[in-house]
Structure 1
């Protein structure tokens, strides 16, 4: 079990109370709700309807093999976009002020083959609290032993090539989620600081029932209605998840594992000598912050700094509060990390992997 970890605001920084007050004032002055607006509902509808339409087109049996493979790739992308744009906000309680609406939309996570209950524990509870802290934030453990993101971790000969082989590993993330990760995390006794030894009985039922439904709709039903062989179905299923996994993996890593972000170690007493909010600034980076395309498809996760500081604010509002957060960080002399484009963030991630794959 990990040592109990705590943050200590040793410099008594007033950054977070100040930026929170200013963001709250923005919503009050503009008479806006921090939850979803009409544009957000339209975007959520676009991705959900698009996903259902692509699935229906594949099952229509009206297309050739290559066309169906292309539709499967698009379906994988739309699954990732639903995760970013619908499930993520809802599971954070950011989509609506009504809990039942968030719960309903959070269930869209099942469309990815993933479990929203397990995600809430590993992401909301653990990752958002102990961001980038080795041994606590399991979200940065891409492939323990294979990928080295912690300078304190043992260096092996194969790490010299990790900047090449890590990207294909990201593509496997979704398949792992569907067949392995949720089960492993659900039955793990401890996840970071979280005691994971007990779960409500209904969550056991939901885990196995939802997985069975996903396997039926994506493996059994297509085999029954499509004029394809089992191996052709398997190729389509795997390709769909490789695309989905690559999109999901890259967006996450470009926000937390680029040059400039830190991977702090607590001291012997299990204390991080830093305020939690400043820790978020030091371990998180934005990418393509002025790109409307990135904001639309990534669900605002290109502005991860704003998301980590205000996870209960719907991402549709991140462009408006970005200037507030950035100016306040600069006012307090704090870092505000950003890569100006998706490409520059990708290169930065590549260089970090390269650096950590070699001796200092």
Structure 2
């Protein structure tokens, strides 16, 4: 994985070294591991068991079609929650200090119909390095040509209404992931501008085998054991993934595409004139940071600032280290963006979609979203 894009202004990396020193001291002084604790393992058991129970109840063929449809929707939600709470931490190496444990629980990502190997490339490597940089971070390219988030992209007439149709499109993301995205990504020469070639042959085999296994478990087996027609099966599968995709999509969008977050563009020398950690703070926002429910179900991804700075720290510790990160950011005169509730974050995302669907390409690609909005998000 190589790219020529570089972060400069490394003299300002003192912010990150100071923050890291304080976070390390927190764990040492309190004799804590930065990995999973008892509460975290309880979450793992809860979400994995809930997923298995829902799947088993559907296959039991003891319920009405409406009841099975409701359980399919819940199954989609639990798949997203496993992605947030189990797979995500494991794939970042944050769940355990033992690599084999992380590898084992990384495989829970297959329950979403997705490839952990491809995710580690597109998310861990590319997104976490080049967050919100158009042309590099493909995670912000939700539906090219339909949803416009890059202010230098040509403005199309239908994008005037993207603040309305974007949300149903988010619901299709999981279905695209299962049926298309992983195949496309592993065969692409580049992810953004990052080289993406030379994958081991076993990863290609694993991708196709696990996809076939998923199709077997969620399409073939239900059709064989349930008293349903083919169209009813297709509808249940679609709705399950629509719910899963909507949950996954909203959590990501509310962390990166809200008022106040930057979408910086490289200079002509292909550099970002900022230190990496500063870039992470400027391109990321928290939402519902003090909500126990949001933290429990979103796997700490409602605290994306902490996650982007410390991806190898288990999310169960984010509430504790958040005060350290916020205080240090203020000391270095850096933004610490937060939307106090899910609703305010959703409203902020809606406003960005509306603005970007009506604003012509900027004269300067360096223009930040904060220059386009009338009421920027509050800064703690």
Q: Which runs of 5+ in 1 are unaligned?
A: none
* 1:81-230 alignment, distance < 5 Å: 81-230=81-230
* 1:358 matched residue in structure 2: 358
Conserved? CA contact 1:86–1:106, under 8 Å? yes
Q: Which runs of 4+ in 1 moved over 3 A?
A: 10-13
- Residue deviations 1:19-56 (CA, integer Å, cap 9, x gap): 00000000000000000000000001100000000000
> Root-mean-square deviation (CA), in Å?
1.2
Q: CA deviation at 1:175?
A: 0.2
Conserved? CA contact 1:254–1:349, under 8 Å? yes
TM-score by length of 1: 0.98
Alpha-carbon distance in 1 for matches of 2:9, 2:247 = 36
- Residue deviations 1:260-311 (CA, integer Å, cap 9, x gap): 0010001001000001001001100000000000000000000000000000
Q: 1:139 to 1:39 in 2, by over 3 A?
A: same
Conserved? CA contact 1:286–1:337, under 8 Å? yes
Conserved? CA contact 1:126–1:193, under 8 Å? no
* 1:235 matched residue in structure 2: 235
* 1:310 matched residue in structure 2: 310
* 1:335 matched residue in structure 2: 335
Conserved? CA contact 2:135–2:193, under 8 Å? no
* 1:255 matched residue in structure 2: 255
Alpha-carbon distance in 1 for matches of 2:67, 2:240 = 13
Conserved? CA contact 2:136–2:194, under 8 Å? no
- Residue deviations 1:187-206 (CA, integer Å, cap 9, x gap): 00111343212111110111
Conserved? CA contact 1:171–1:241, under 8 Å? yes
* 2:364 matched residue in structure 1: none
Q: CA deviation at 1:2?
A: 10
* 1:349 matched residue in structure 2: 349
Conserved? CA contact 2:287–2:345, under 8 Å? yes
Alpha-carbon distance in 2 for matches of 1:359, 1:46 = 45
Give the SS at the match of 2:153.
coil
Alpha-carbon distance in 2 for matches of 1:188, 1:288 = 36
Give the SS at the match of 2:12.
coil
Q: 1:273 to 1:347 in 2, by over 3 A?
A: same
Alpha-carbon distance in 2 for matches of 1:102, 1:244 = 23
Alpha-carbon distance in 2 for matches of 1:12, 1:50 = 45
Conserved? CA contact 2:2–2:195, under 8 Å? no
* 1:32 matched residue in structure 2: 32
Q: CA deviation at 1:177?
A: 0.3
Q: Which runs of 5+ in 2 are unaligned?
A: 361-380
Alpha-carbon distance in 1 for matches of 2:12, 2:305 = 21
TM-score by length of 2: 0.93
Conserved? CA contact 2:132–2:140, under 8 Å? yes
Conserved? CA contact 1:7–1:273, under 8 Å? yes
Alpha-carbon distance in 2 for matches of 1:292, 1:3 = 39
